[in-house]
Each structure stands twice: as C-alpha cells, then as structure tokens.
C-alpha cells in the first residue's frame, strides 16, 4: 500500500513510499508509470512524507522511525545522509528554495532545521 508520492518532472521519476518502509523509484513514460528503476529499504518504518528538492538533485523521506533519509538522485539514489533529532515520527518536511536546508515537523510538534 502506497503512503506518499513525489514526482520529479526534470528526471521523469516518481518516488513512492510504501507501508513496509520501502521506497520505489519509477521511470515515468508518457505520463504514466513505466519501469521500476530502484527500490530502497533504508527506513525502518513507513514514510509519512517524501519530497524532491527544488533542484531535483536530492530526495528526502520522513519516516515513522523519527528519521529523515536523504538520497542523491544523480548517484542512482544512493543514501547521502540520515537526519536524526526528532523525538517522534516525521509528519511533514520541506526544502528551502536553494535546496540546501530541510525544515521538518514531527508528531511531538518539534520543528527542526537541517
């Protein structure tokens, strides 16, 4: 069951987060889902939110394991870093317009900047 989705028009990718914690990257073909490109399984629990950076070079996934996972799109979605600091599950996140800062909120209402 899918939980969150993000679209990268520049790369023609769709990132879909599932209830089992896996994230699937699909190559979009003619505005529909085409072929599966990659599956990542770093989150220990399901992701509430997933979002590409404005420059579409990074993908952030906020998980119910209280962490944010950041993937490098240009390096075939290699895990770039794991952001730790929240005391509860991630409820939302967003990128700064220059793609250098992530702000996030969690179930304990913490607002953090990374």
Distance (Å, whole) CA 18 – CA 96: 25
- What are the pLDDT digits (tens) for 9-31? 999 999 999 999 999 999 988 76
The answer to whether the beta carbons of residues 94 and 105 sit under 8 Å apart is no
Q: Which residue has the tokens 């800062």?
A: 101
71 — pLDDT class (breaks 50, 70, 90)? very high
- Cα Rg, the chain, nearest whole Å: 13
84 — pLDDT class (breaks 50, 70, 90)? very high
Question: Quick one: which H or E segment has residue 91?
Answer: strand 90-95
- What are the pLDDT digits (tens) for 32-64? 667 778 999 899 998 999 999 999 999 999 999
Predicted TM-score of the model (pTM): 0.92
Distance (Å, whole) CA 106 – CA 49: 11
């Amino acid at each position: 069951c899918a939980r969150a989705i993000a679209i990268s028009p520049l790369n023609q990718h769709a990132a879909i987060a599932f209830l089992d914690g896996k994230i699937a990257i699909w190559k979009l073909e003619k505005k529909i889902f085409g072929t599966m490109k990659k599956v990542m399984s770093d989150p220990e629990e399901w992701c509430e939110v997933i979002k590409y950076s404005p420059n579409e070079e990074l993908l952030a996934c906020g998980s119910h394991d209280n962490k944010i996972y950041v993937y490098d799109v240009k390096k075939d979605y290699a895990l770039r870093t794991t952001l730790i600091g929240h005391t509860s599950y991630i409820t939302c996140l967003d990128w700064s317009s220059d793609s250098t800062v992530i702000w996030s909120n969690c179930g304990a209402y913490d607002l953090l900047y990374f």
